[in-house]
A and B are shown apart, each in its own frame.
Chain A
Amino acid sequence: MKYLCLVYLEEQKLHAVPDNECMACGDVFRNSGVLIAAEALQPIATAATVRVRNGKVSVTDGPFAETKEQLAGFYLLDARDLNEAIQMAAKIPPAREGSVEVRPVRELTP
């Protein structure tokens, strides 16, 4: 089962964890065959929000909702179950600075 681990951090803590530590974590996941994808994100100031209403595209700046912590990156992992996903999420370095939300992926039904 796929789990998306969403890494949340306060803006000033985006660089609290050195990049090489995050890369090492990604390598560990990749070598054990559980990593499907992982990326770090630019700060929310770089974001654009897109909505389509009545066929019209509207674009606004910033994220959908203002929160103290922002989405800083993600890991898409393949885990046996939630317990395994939680154990992996606990190894993601920014977990000690911010938080990691573990969400099971919903398979779309055709």
Chain B
Amino acid sequence: MTGPVHEALNAVYVEHSRRVLATLIRLLGDFDLAEEALHDAFRAALEQWPRDGIPANPRAWLVSAGRFKAIDGLRRRSRFDALEDVGERADVAVTDSAAWADEESVEDDRLRLIFTCCHPALAADAQVALTLREVCGLTTEQIAQAFLTPAPTLAQRIVRAKAKIRDARIPYQVPTPAELPDRLDAVLRVIYLVFNEGYEASSGELLTRPDLSAEAIRLGRLLSELLPEPEVLGLLALMLLHESRREARTSPTGELVRLDEQDRSRWDRALIAEGTRLIERALLSRRFGPYTIQAAISAVHAEAPNPAATDWNEIVGLYDVLLRSDPSPIVELNRAVAIAMRDGSDAGVKVIDEIFARGDLLEYRLAHAARADLCRRLGRVDEARVSYQRAIALTKQEPERRFLERQLRELPADVALKGPGIGK
């Protein structure tokens, strides 16, 4: 084996293996068969390319080889195996052959794969696992590690999802325009979930798992190329803007640094610029939704050279728009914090208490943490203490717990101390 061919093959694998898999699934009508065929195709390349040279169109070569190997395998197996549908599947594979080569249907294959992996009939955790496995090409072990799940559990999840795709006949197709908005929401939810698990790991020692965020951004970029719908651009922008602060939001010792205490010179300007351009494109469409609005809020923070220069009025206005399009208590909480910054901490506490009074967010750690912080700023130390304790009891994440415990320890013992209000 010569070095350059080996290297070339590796590069081809990185660039094309997911595309080849997506096309093979369409041609063979089965995930497992396609994965096996992909494997066989690369094994054939490893044998033949050093001898015959690298083909002009490596991807087409691999699809062709994979398809041939799979059909050959099916035929051989059907001689020993009376399964009727094996013969049927091989016929489908043969008759479909004309359509596989052209560029457009191959790009569509990648969309088909994404929409199938994120089908709402699959359990949410199965959608995530399947997307990372099939679309991103992560190994089962890598996904298991990222989600702190035992590998056999995760493998089982993927097996069940594939069985459901087969048995319930979940089709391998891009949704019709009528279905698209709902189905696209499901895809975006999966991508954002992967990003958030990487950005704010929900449990464990480390605050973030950058690999998962990078995968989510890669998925977002892929989707924005294949299907540049406004909300796809909005979600990608939102992820890029969050990502721009990754370095600044953790201290060298791994502690969480709040937005208003971050060193803004460490924010990644290139990511901010890219995100802002995407938001502008999404807003121009006039068909934007919650992701674009959240990205716009994030962009307002990114524009401010220092916390005091933040345009809180703009942010409150954007939260009002967001609440109209996507009402949720968590959005209300964020709006409450923005109101506190614009109108003073007591106004924010009032809004949070109204949310609690309705019975919402009582188990949500960040609601108690936000209330604690505002009470601390108002010098309402006793209330701050109770809210910090409540937040600490609810958090499952070590760095966050340490952050909250430090805040609690640093509360002045003297109840009479009146802290200055923040914002105006």
Contacts and interface: CB of A to CB of B under 8 A. Distances in A.
Interface in B115-135: 119, 121
A81 B121 contact: no
A104 B121 CA distance: 12
B167 A83 contact: no
A70 to B, nearest CB: 23
A106 B171 CA distance: 17
Interface residues of B, number: 10
A1 B169 CA distance: 8
A80 interface: yes
Chain B interface helix/strand/loop/mixed: loop
B174 to A, nearest CB: 11
A87 interface: yes
Contacts of A86: 121
A104 B168 contact: yes
A81 B119 CA distance: 13
Contacts of B179: 83, 87
Given A83-B179, A87-B179, A104 B171 contact: no
B173 A83 contact: yes
* Interface size, A (range): under 10
B388 to A, nearest CB: 40
B171 A80 contact: yes
Nearest to B115: A83
Contacts of B169: 1, 81-82, 104
Contacts of B226: none
B170 interface: yes
B87 interface: no
B50 interface: no
Interface in B56-97: none
B171 to A, nearest CB: 4
A106 B163 CA distance: 13
B423 interface: no
Interface of B: 119, 121, 167-171, 173, 175, 179
22 contacts: A1-B169, A80-B171, A81-B169, A81-B170, A81-B171, A82-B119, A82-B121, A82-B168, A82-B169, A82-B170, A82-B171, A83-B170, A83-B171, A83-B173, A83-B175, A83-B179, A86-B121, A87-B179, A104-B167, A104-B168, A104-B169, A106-B167
